[in-house]
Structure 1
Amino acid sequence: MQHIIDMISNGTKMNESEHDELINEVSAELVELYEIEYDPDNLIPADDETANRILEAAFDLLEAVGVYSVDTKSVFTIPRDEIFRSVQNSQRYLNIGEGSDKYLLTLAGSSEKKKTSIMGGPNASPVTPEMFIPIHRSYAKYTDIDSIAPAYLDVPAGSAKKGPANLMKARQAVQLVKEACALEGRPDMCITTPPHIEDPVAAVSVANPRFMGSGDLQEIIPQQGLKVNYSELSRVYHYKMTGSNYLCSPMLVRGLSAATPEQFAIEIAAEALKSQVVYGASVFFKYPAHIHTGDPLKTLWASFAATQALSKNEICLQGSVVTSSAGPCTEMMFYETAVQTIGYVVCGCDILSGPVSNNGSITNQVSGLDAHFMAEVSRFASDLSLKDANYLCNELFSRYESKLNAPEIGKPFVDCYDMNTIEPTQEYWKLYETVIADIYYILQQKNRRISRR
């Protein structure tokens, strides 16, 4: 940590916008140098060389542009050998949860068959206090969901984002999620930090055995664009001193500093390298936001390609957030979830989180059945070849492509579930089974066509 602070102190002064433009310029040059090309016919890159070239370009990008310190308005550079040493020292194993809900994450290349861990949960979608326990119970009751990414505790407007009120809100959210897990007989289930805790004091306060245990995961959400600030580093130092495991989860939006999908893939991989060098994160989580606005296939390709680059080269444990523009109890949300789940699993992702419904914008509109669906699709996808996965993803995408400009909103939790039993309605189960059957049908039809030739 002292080494990082010293590098920040000795950085070169630069405007933040200049650093963003530098990322854009250098990444564009690297796309040409390494001949990285988006292939609209292959949503999932089918060759190892593309993944390897993206990773090499990511090393070059991080080394060339450095990391921008928001506090000092300066850039510090990291030598390539130091980046490489940090990657070599990245965490290879991670225990999450405790007792009967303990789960071991193991870093392995995408060519090796492995179970993708499922971190079900609202994942920062807003949920009101009275619905917090029932909604989180709907996730905890499925044993194929290994951990929970909680909702954002939606309290009345005007509540403080800093100070004791925010600290109380953070602790209340932890206690409510823990109670939900206990009610489903899973008191030791892993949870992540309640989302959007902007005050570092509140974030640090919940990283305490009285609230979150050694099997839980803290979370840091840094800015996109290879940046760092002192608040993030303070939290990292605290987590290291208390022995807490923590995620590094930048919100990534194509177009901020990387215009093309090829550039975006490089930048995602470079953010993963930064997560190891600067934060020493237990897990790097990518959240490629705005997937469903403007060229969603290009954004998906970039995220899948970066996943492959990190997995094939065993850079670090990595997760991806699955997000949907549609809402619960709709075919559209199931299909959106399926495309991302299949792509991430075959590309070697270690953890899938979510799925986030309605892009996380509608209160109390989330459900555990969608995460259970994600878990079932992930098991199915683990046996697919890249070619079959690519075919299936393209076919499934066509099922909802025409609806992206006006997504199916879906239903609130109370209309999707029996509130006495916390079980999905018959209508919801029927939709679930219909989409699962369609996924199998698509692949069966493909195999029949091949056998006829």
Structure 2
Amino acid sequence: MRPSDSHEVSQLNELKIDVGALVFTAHYVLAGNIIMCEQMPIYGGYAGGLEETTIVDVATTINSFVMTQATWHLDGPVHVRWGITTAREALAVAGHAAMAIEANTNLMLGNQYYTVAGPCTVMCLLETAAQAMTDTASGREILSGVAASKGVTTNYTTGMEARMMAEVAHAVAGMETEKVNEMLDKLVAMYEKEYKTAPKGKSFEECYDVAKLVPTQEYLDVYEEAVKVLSDLGLDYWTKK
């Protein structure tokens, strides 16, 4: 591995850690590695509701820098019912936690992406956009994604979801939080009623040319459809290009 590569150690839910993780941590610290400590607080689980999970998220983040001497923390508040980070409640936890920490520390924060819909679907891209808006507006430095189809289906993730994540981050950078919230509320409302019937999408082999490693025209068209939705909401990033 390169000296710049992160070495991961994960905490357990909620606010726990196992001996194995401590052994990893000791090795990473002695070796002088860059340490990424990861944790995904569960909304609706042991922590409770929105306020309680946000408090746990903040505590977990701070604890990662104390207990594992992390270089940066990878968050990922997840909804107990849907197993995703793009649900309204999970976004609220992530946003509030990040803003609280960013306002009072210089800690480096990241967030990981788990959508319910799969690649080559407008829903997947809109879910990704919603979280990228939340993370950017709340001050996170690192966006880590995207694990489409909840991250549990083999070969159901592609570079196009990451492209959407990055372009939306550029689109809302520097925008007033109130304006982002207004757009975000409308955006989440477009897909949150579709969780039970979310499209599976297509595998990497089905929506990418595996020889040239470029997306198919079908996926490019789906991407443009999602871009139109976001542009209509008020994101002018693509119209300015």
Task: Compute the TM-score of the two structures, normalised by the length of structure 1.
Answer: 0.50
1:277 equivalenced with 2:66 (yes/no): yes
- AA aligned to 1:299 is A
**Which residue, out of 109, 123, 128, partners 1:332?**
123
CA distance in 1, matches of 2:79, 2:54: 15
Q: How many residues align?
A: 234
Question: Partners of 1:354 and 1:279 in 2: how far apart?
Answer: 23
- Pair 1:412-2:203 in alignment: yes
The aligned counterpart of 2:177 is 386
Work out which of the residue numbers 306, 309, 327 in structure 1 matches 2:100. Answer: 309
Inter-partner Cα distance in structure 2 for 1:318 and 1:388: 23
User: 2-side partners of 1:421 and 1:291: how far apart?
Assistant: 39
Q: Secondary structure at the match of 1:303?
A: helix
Does 1:319 find its partner at 2:92?
A: no
Of 344, 351, 356, the match for 2:135 = 344
Give the corresponding residue for 2:47: 258
The CA distance in 2 between the partners of 1:276 and 1:361, in whole Å, is: 29
The alignment status of 1:359 with 2:166, answered yes or no, reads no
Structure 2: unaligned runs, 5 residues or longer: 237-241
Measure how far apart 1:444 and its partner are: 7.0
**Contact (CA 8 Å) 1:292, 1:404: kept in 2 or not?**
no
1:202-231 CA-partner distances (Å, limit 9, x unpaired): xxxxxxxxxx11011110111022212221
Q: Is 2:198 aligned against 1:423?
A: no
Would you say the 8 A contact 2:132–2:143 is kept in 1?
yes
What amino acid maps onto 1:311 in structure 2? Answer: E
SS of the aligned residue for 2:145 comes to strand
SS in 2 for 1:251: coil
Instruction: Kindly indicate whether the alpha-carbon contact (under 8 Å) linking 1:322 and 1:356 is maintained by their aligned counterparts in 2.
Output: yes
How far, CA to CA, are the matches of 2:225 and 2:188 in structure 1?
16
Deviation of 1:404 after TM superposition, in Å, equals 1.1
Computing the radius of gyration from Cα coordinates, the structure with the larger value is 1
**1:117-156 alignment runs, 5 A limit:** none
- Structure 1: state its 5+ residue gaps: 1-211, 446-453
Whether the aligned pair in 1 keeps the contact of 2:45 and 2:80 (CA below 8 Å) is no
Residue 346 of structure 1: how far off its partner (Å): 0.4
* Aligned pairs (5 A) from 1:149-188: none
- Of 321-330 and 425-434, the range deviating more from structure 2: 425-434
Residue pair 1:323, 1:359 contacting (<8 A) in 2 also: yes
Query: Which of 1 and 2 has higher RCO (CA within 8 Å, sep 6+)?
Result: 1
- Counterparts of 1:189-204 in structure 2, within 5 Å, are none
Which deviates more from structure 2 when the two are superposed, residues 228-237 or residues 361-370? 228-237
1-structure distance, mates of 2:234, 2:148? 26
The residue number in structure 2 matching 1:45 is none
Shift of 1:315: 4.6
Distance 1:302 1:402, change over 3 A: same
Amino acid aligned to 1:413? F
CA contact (8 A) 2:132 2:168 kept: yes
- 1:216–1:346: structure 2 CA closer, same or farther, 3 Å change rule? same
Question: What residue identity is the alignment partner of 1:218?
Answer: H
8 Å contact from structure 1 (residues 292, 325) kept in 2:
no
Q: Partner letter of residue 182 of structure 2?
A: Y
1:397 is displaced (CA, Å) by: 1.1
Q: Which amino acid in 2 is paired with 1:304?
A: G
Give the C-alpha shift of residue 291 in structure 1.
6.7
Shift of residue 387 of structure 1?
1.2
* Selected match of 1:229 from 18, 24, 43: 18
Deviation at 1:381, TM superposition (A): 1.2
Q: Residue 255 and residue 237 in structure 1: after superposition, are their counterparts in 2 closer, same or farther (change >3 A)? A: same
Identity %: 29
Q: What is aligned with 1:34?
A: none
**Aligned mates of 1:420, 1:304 — CA distance in 2:** 39
- Within 5 A, what are the aligned runs for 1:65-84? none
Two-structure CA RMSD over aligned residues (Å): 1.8
Query: Which letter maps to 1:287?
Result: G
Distance across 2 between alignment mates of 1:402 and 1:418: 32
Task: Verify the 8 A CA contact 1:388 1:443 in the aligned structure 2.
Answer: no
CA contact (8 A) 2:41 2:56 kept: no
The amino acid of 2:51's aligned partner reads E
Per the normalisation by structure 2, the TM-score is 0.92
Amino acid at match of 1:232: A
Within 5 A, what are the aligned runs for 1:282-301?
282-290=71-79, 293=82, 296-301=87-92
AA aligned to 2:102 is: S
For 1:442-453, what aligned pairs fall within 5 Å after superposition?
442-443=233-234
